[in-house]
Structure 1
């Protein structure tokens, strides 16, 4: 078993992703979460490139990290000056980190066309920059930019660049597949040459995902002797992204037997990935291996029946080892096993021959054939389950609603208003409310009508709203109809939890009403359950 250094570059390379923008405060929060995960190094940014990174380095010195060391990143010095007089080099020293990473050109085409200096001068830039910084920090790394492409084009020169860095005393030569075009067998072949050329050097890998091979190339590099692996959480990065540490770390630890994180820290991986996606304001990728919401989700009835007996039948690892969990989905592919499993999750132990199971399965298949999606809207399913069991009471009755949407002036926003009439316990409530759009107005009017009866609804908020137009349904004679249903998914939440509900109709307002009605009913139903649990706990205490 080898110890592999995990070098996280989410805060630098990850921010080059077109949909990722992090403030200095965001970077500080993410640093603390990465430190808690237990990565070896955290690349905080390039202090010479922007004010955000400079502010980050000014602030991070005030934090005490338990596991990770922060690195500053920069380039070799400008060809027209010396390291001592180069602002970029001085900004690295001003960052006051005990780890520095310098990148340099190793592909001759970049030296000629980007730097526009002689090949020999670039060798001097690499050596002089690293030699100048060597005694200033505890750890010094050289990112050999475009190394694999450079080696393919001019192997002698690419190797000469590595020799200059090694002679300057770096702690690791990090071989970069910057364009992301190399194949795993090329990584292995070229690394074998490097090891023969520089047998005493410690090697690292920095891969990009342009060929969907960044993770595979990183794993191959470790198999070929690399002990230092760079990547980003969730694979964020320029173009198609960087090597995804959320896949690299568990593969190294669980499949190859290496050690990357402190003992018992791997289960923190899923929550770390979710936290960073939230801070970056990027929607989490549900089908992401290991940490995605769908990574251990089962939908087909045969699959569910098998995993209930033995999860290994359709799961390559135990989800809990990376902090994830198994999920059983409901759909028109569902069988009795799905129903039994979901009912058990909610505390109901049912027999497969119970008529209730067949009735509920029939309802689900019928509803999903019309466009309902219970695999996403589990709150709506839980309500359906409890209604079929007769365990969810009717909290209110809709007597009617009206929604108006009008544009009064060309240069003004549209005006939306909803009127709702409901009945609660024989009392009729008729209210109206405005909103930012018809759905928001309808939500406001509903809450206004119901909050006097159910004050806890003030805790609830609408968090997300998604609409999908469904394909036209076929008529009874097999022809495709002209009308299309829409499916509305609404995510709601309070201080304790979040839940998703669904509505389907050819009318978007009606579909929205269904999802809103389920959202409110679910909140009230969970409140009732909590009261029952508290009463039972009180009774046990008194006895």
Structure 2
């Protein structure tokens, strides 16, 4: 029989406590709506009354009709100087409009005594009164037993007393918190089982932190021991080393236990990779490429032996099919590549080659040579695609434009003034020589502006393209020079309304390397549009 596990997302509250994340109310609203689309059960919006951002979020989200999720408010048990019904924190939770709340209280006797300066009995009284007050006002109340596992190992009887008090007061779920993130999976499994035996009528949840990189394992161990709710964040963001990563927990439970558990509504799991990327983008943090299931590298294959195997049967080096979680297989081209890499990439572009064909051997030699010079084709897949298409010269890339020359002029008038960048570009476009000039915020921006100015009259859809990221890396080693004479690699990420792509350039001259990457980026956009137009014509 399949057991339904409730997902409680705290990205907007605990996740926002990550040192590199600062979410506005608008950011929180966007993420909440995306989590609702995914099928998350409970979304913790923040701590009402604690800051203007959370106040604004609860006010705004009230005007939306969520399809699946229920918004939860967060707070603490009441202050010792107040009663539950007079406590500003608890009143703010009620007034937030949230139907659900999660409040934390001390379940560790040492913490109650040292942090709150409370005697043990008074702490238990506060827990019971706080839960009972909220339960009388809201549909559901969850009690987050802070430092529960540490407290249980120190004084199990007292930690259980805190749970008993919350349960008697009406708490819907008793959430066991590994607040310091130091508990091991076998300990979690044992303690959760003992809690369920001590409170047979209580629903138990888990809130794990990742300080030992065990938050996912601990959450799954808790579920196996009978927990019915998991608290975590998208991409595992959170204070210190982060929270339990729902992007790993969800597919593990749904795919690895033979149907024993379910977390999301049917058909939603394929949205997971897109949701992970969306949250990273809104939070303005770089996605973790090696993240299991949803990371860009999760199903990337670099070594020739691996690629040869997955070409025959993907499960030989993939534990699940990438499309199940909305991800995709990637074949990388590096100095470790074999002919199987070329064949696999060509097949993705619509060319069916045999690895013994001379063109495959020639492509591999060229790609390896360029990789040895610093061209990072593992990162710049668009440049790889263009290289292969040009080499194969079938349905390939025609010459949309040809550089005749460019000139860069940098002017700085005094020590206080900002430098001025001016670029002139001469290109041949469809047999016409275009000579344009433009300024910009730095030479690369000026180069981009001048090239677009020359091409837009011929290719209007270039106006849709935007530069998303620009990375420069100095390549060390005797063959690349040294110091200010070093060879540099430039990676440019571009995008339009449909997709994103990365191109690469390498030179001892940073402007030349930037031109290579920029020219490839523009060419890829033009090729992509022409290919889509031809495909549309063929289908008519």
- Structure-2 residue corresponding to 1:205: 206
Is residue 428 of structure 1 aligned with residue 430 of structure 2? no
Alpha-carbon RMSD across the aligned residues, in angstroms, is: 1.7
Alpha-carbon distance between aligned partners in 1 of 2:465 and 2:368, rounded to the nearest angstrom: 30
**Alignment CA distance shift 1:114-1:411 (3 Å):** farther
Q: Secondary structure at the match of 1:112?
A: helix
Equivalent residue for 1:64?
65
Residues of 1 paired with 2:167 and 2:460: CA distance?
Answer: 69
Equivalent positions of 1:404-415 (< 5 A) are: 404-415=409-420
Q: Which residue of 2 aligns with 1:97?
A: 98
Q: Does 1:303 align with 2:306?
A: yes
Alignment of 1:7-86 (within 5 A): 7-86=8-87
1:424-446: CA deviation from partner (whole Å, max 9, x where unpaired): 34433322211101111111122
Question: What residue is the counterpart of 1:113 in the other structure?
Answer: 114
Distance 1:62 1:175 in 2: 33
1:39 and 1:395 map into 2 onto residues whose CA distance is 47
Q: Is the 2:422–2:443 Cα contact (8 Å) retained in structure 1?
A: yes
What residue in structure 1 maps to residue 450 of structure 2? 445
Deviation sequence 1:270-320 (CA, Å, 0-9, x none): 111111111112211111101111111111111111111111111111111
Given the alignment of the two structures, is residue 382 of structure 1 paired with residue 385 of structure 2, yes or no?
yes
Q: Where does residue 475 of structure 2 map in the other structure?
A: 470
SS in 2 for 1:287: coil
CA drift of 1:156 comes to 2.3
Match status 1:223 vs 2:228: no
Are 2:462 and 1:460 aligned?
Answer: no
Tell me, in whole angstroms, the C-alpha distance in 2 between the residues paired with 1:205 and 1:372: 46
Match of 1:280 in 2: 283
Other structure's SS at 2:3 match? coil
Question: In the TM superposition, what is the alpha-carbon distance from 1:345 to its structure 2 partner?
Answer: 0.9
In the TM superposition, residue 61 of structure 1 has moved relative to its aligned partner by 2.1
Deviation at 1:34, TM superposition (A): 1.1
- C-alpha change, 1:164 and 1:535, in structure 2 (3 Å) is closer
Question: Which residue number corresponds to residue 140 of structure 2?
Answer: 139
Alpha-carbon distance in 2 for matches of 1:115, 1:408: 62
Shift of 1:33: 1.4
- Give 2:274's match in structure 1, choosing from 267, 271, 276: 271
Residue 241 of structure 1 aligns to a residue whose secondary structure is coil
- Aligned equivalent of 1:262: 265
Out of 82-91 and 15-24, give the one that drifted further.
15-24
Aligned to 2:468, the other structure's residue is in SS state strand
Structure-1 separation of matches of 2:270 and 2:345? 24
Cα pair 1:472 1:485 within 8 Å, conserved: no
Equivalent position SS for 1:216: helix
- The aligned counterpart of 1:533 is 535
Task: Give the secondary structure class of the aligned counterpart of 1:140.
Answer: strand
| Matched-pair contact (CA < 8 Å) for 1:77–1:129 | yes
Q: Structure 1 residues 108, 365: closer, same or farther in 2, change over 3 A?
A: same
In the aligned structure 2, how far is the partner of 1:158 from the partner of 1:176? 11
Of residues 344, 347, 355, the one that matches 1:344 is 347
Greater CA drift, 73-82 or 53-62:
53-62
1:242, CA displacement in angstroms? 0.4
- TM-score, normalising length: structure 1: 0.95
Contact in 1 for aligned 2:407/2:424 (Cα 8 Å) = yes
State which of 328, 331, 337 in structure 2 corresponds to 1:328.
331
Shift of 1:461: 2.1
Cα distance in structure 1, aligned partners of 2:205 and 2:430: 69
State the 1:523 CA deviation: 2.1
* Matched residue SS, 1:151: helix
Counterpart of 2:487 (choices 485, 488, 497) is: 485
Q: CA deviation at 1:66?
A: 1.9
The counterpart of 1:399, out of the listed 386, 400, 404, is 404
